[in-house]
Amino acid sequence: MLNLDDLETCTAQEVLARAAAEFGTQLGLASSFGLEDMVLIDMASKLETPLTLFTLDTGRLHEETYETMEKVRTRYGMEIKTFFPDREAVEALVRDKGFYSFRESVDNRKECCRIRKVEPLTRALKGFKGWVTGMRREQNVTRTDILKAQPDEGNPGLIKFNPLADWTEAQVLEYIEANKVPTNPLHKRNYPSIGCSPCTRPIEPGEDIRAGRWWWENPEHKECGLHRPR
């Protein structure tokens, strides 16, 4: 039985290994194939106990993201379980509000995220006992108090693991370099955080690493609903 408090002093590899040993394929690794997620995929590929890798395809991802997904399939030989949004919900949203309603208000943006990401995540998590994310405390003001392991308030009954919670950006890049981890080509074009194509832009020198996500909104709103602040 895992003691979540004990995991706070463990390394990222130890957190991931102990979670996988506890739950096996009932542990899901959620990936959008950004830098942190690629670090976790590389770590997961070295585990004795396999877990389940999954992703949410919103229908509006960058071409480079799909290319990165293929790199994961070929290099690591890992199956990627892909979940899409409900077709009728997307069709209704676009028909009633157009293709860029998410730029009109925070409520509209959250509605789009709910349809394209939150609802598919709910389906993706069915049958799991825990799931893993690449969130780090220094990424945004909404993430400063995340723990390495905690009950998931947004998905009762599940444990949420954030093995990289205390990592810095420099540590992420050092791991990628040392282990020759493949990455999304957009990162070399000043995209440190990559989401849907219409909602992601490159950042300018000195900007926060998530400044390119929903750049028309204030920082405290920059979550899509997948991760509820504690």
Q: At what angle do helices 106-113 and 87-97 cross, to 10 degrees?
A: 160
Is residue 224 annotated as part of the catalytic site, yes or no? yes
Q: In what helix (H) or strand (E) does residue 29 lie, and over which residues does it extend?
A: strand 27-30
Burial class (CB in 10 A: 0-12, 13-18, 19+), 96: exposed
User: What is the C-alpha separation between 102 and 128, in angstroms, rounded?
Assistant: 31
Determine the distance from the C-alpha atom of residue 215 to the mean position of all C-alpha atoms in its chain, rounded to a whole number.
Answer: 18
**Strand ranges, E, within 39-171:** 52-56, 80-83, 130-132, 149-151, 159-161
**Which residue is catalytic, options 113, 196, 199, 224?**
224
Residues annotated as catalytic (active site), given as ranges: 224
